[in-house]
A = this chain, B = another copy of it.
Amino acid sequence: MANIKTVAKHAGVSVATVSRFLNNKDYVSQEAKAAIERAIKELNYRPNQVARSLTTKQTNIIGLIVPDITNPFFPQLARAVEDTALSLGYTVVLCNSDEQEEKEKLYIERLRQTYVAGFIVASNLISEQSYLELNIPVVALDRKDNSQLPYVSTNNFEAAKLGSAYLIERGATNLICLSGPQNAGTFAERAKGFEAAMTDNVSYRIVEGDLRYQYAFESTKEALAQDRTIDGVFACSDYAALGALKAIQEAGLRVPEDVQVVGYDGIELGDMVLPGLTTVAQPVYGLGETATRMLISKLEDKEIQQTRVVLEASLCVRGTTK
């Protein structure tokens, strides 16, 4: 099998030159480049990534940290990250923090030991400071609007306000907002957006908790048991909105006639249920793609115009509103 020595010999250059070429670090003449490229092709040489990692202290592996891969938003996001990474020569290690700080830390440590190139972080548990201290590129995805890390997100506040205002516009007068964990900046922003949309003639309540399907189902069930006149639900994730939908329908109420529901995310699933879910649709694929391109630009020392990108979410009206 071809190795760096046989490539050097075939190309008529030194091993050091081939090494410089492979690591893309220092100057290699055009002539040497062409000879090496020809030799690599003719010998069908494949650089040993592990050996290169030892020299460069870097791999082409990106760690993607998500809070819960079974929330259907994250597979769509992961798919976008992975597609983009693959097309740019990187592979993605999927890390599911399960919303546990210890698990997230364990992943970070383990990947650091294998010289992971950088992280895309879509969870909210660990402080930004911890990520900043890693001294490798990190991009925050759908995390906080006011992050110190480079980030990609949607305009959480404005978009949630838009979705909530639509419930009122369509006649809701007694609303609840299903919000996420308090430590998650994203959801705090969305809850604030909900609150900002409320007018004097409506009553409302914010239910804090987590945004898993089961939790949203239980919370909505409980809220309806306490107050049967609730006629509008704004859920800070589509996954939670699906839980709310099920609770409303199980309570014998009709959607949208008795209770209207608006979600947030724009996952494909929202179109699969009946009635289809009205939602604040994030450009899910675009979020993942943008974050990945941003991270890889950082890894390759390319200039990045923007290190804070806010994509616009928009209202997608389906059957859960009047």
Contacts and interface: CB of A to CB of B under 8 A. Distances in A.
Interface residues of A, number: 49
Counting chain B CB atoms within 10 Å of each CB, the highest count among A50, A59, A92, A246 belongs to: A50
A94 B65 CA distance: 12
Contacts of A113: 46-50
B75 A91 contact: no
How many of these chains are in the complex?
2
A76 interface: yes
A182 to B, nearest CB: 25
Contact of A54 (B54, B70, B109, B111): B54
Nearest to A94: B94
A269 interface: yes
A72 interface: yes
A274 interface: yes
Interface in A52-107: 53-54, 59-61, 69-70, 72, 74-76, 78-79, 82-83, 86, 91-96, 98, 103, 106-107
A94 B114 contact: no
Contact of A78 (B48, B94, B243): B94
A268 interface: yes
Contact of A50 (B53, B109, B243): B53
Sorted from nearest, which 10 A-B pairs have the closest CB atoms? A94-B94, A49-B113, A75-B75, A49-B114, A69-B75, A50-B53, A242-B272, A93-B93, A69-B79, A50-B115
5 contacts: A61-B93, A91-B110, A92-B93, A92-B94, A245-B274
Interface of A: 46-51, 53-54, 59-61, 69-70, 72, 74-76, 78-79, 82-83, 86, 91-96, 98, 103, 106-107, 109-111, 113-115, 213, 242-243, 245-246, 249, 268-269, 272-274
